[in-house]
Structure 1
Amino acid sequence: MKKENIHNITSSGFKTPEHYFDSLENQIFERISNNTILDSIETPGFKVPNAYFDTVESNILETIQTKTEKPVIQLKSKSKFYYLAGIAASFVLLFSLVFNNKAISLNAIDTASIENYLYQEDYSNEELATLFKAEDISESDFIDVNISDTTLNDYLESVDAEDFILD
């Protein structure tokens, strides 16, 4: 429905015949006075045994009194467990802080483990370069390789030029 039509509804959609409610009361009283409704009901749907209400109270009290009480088992409180677990955790934390005084330095770590850590993900050269300071890098850190011109020419002639073209 369009929003405009919702606010423009003038009738409810339900109609009753004229003077319907004026004659409705008379029609209901007429049916009751003729007993047409009561005559259509032959027997009620429920029957109560004889002297039921005289004995019902004693039957209920008898069933209540015959019930034996079952022993109640108290569950252990979880709060005691939480208190003990908190105390144990604080002792573990205290011992780990007091007895673990080893200072870890960068020199103590193996170079191989640092390389494995750095190369476990694909870092770019720029990201790796930001990890080093200029003062830490010296020329002695790099390997000097002298390649002769003939060795270089032999290598370039053996390799196809298509291998150097980037896709």
Structure 2
Amino acid sequence: MGRPADALAANDVAGYLGITRSDPLFASLGPARQMAIHGVSQDRSSLRRAFDQAQDAMERAEPGAYGPVRLTAFYDEAELHSLALSAYLALGDHSTAEYHAHQGPATLRPYMLRSRAIATSRLTHTQLARGEADTATATAMKVPTDAAPHHARVSSSPRSAWT
């Protein structure tokens, strides 16, 4: 909505919730979300600090006790790197974005084909921005054509997601 100060304020409020103070994985979400705000706001130092805070909190979470399925189904180290990739793309720091583009897929769960395709597409974006058209073309060709058509969120029929 173009209101980064309001977004940061709302995110700060979430930081005071009991679950955020008691669960390191939930605590990691706040700074992870802030990365996007800092990227759009062109605030490089705050973006780096938010990534470090999110990663530190995530590392404090006990393996195996990673929280409810609704959270762990999408939020993990790979997602943290994906969020950092998007934030650094918004910032225009394509070298750091490319670093995160390589880190995220390395930690993706094997069945997360759609997420891998998205990360690979974003990697292509960073390579193009750096003037590496041949490398970007080769990277883009690695995106499997069947990565998304069968995913419930992007299927052609709205009803097929529920069948």
Normalised-by-shorter TM-score class: under 0.3
Higher RCO (Cα < 8 Å, 6 or more apart)? 2
For normalisation by structure 1, the TM-score amounts to 0.18
- Greater C-alpha Rg: 1
- The structure with more helix, counted as a fraction of residues: 2
For normalisation by structure 2, the TM-score amounts to 0.19
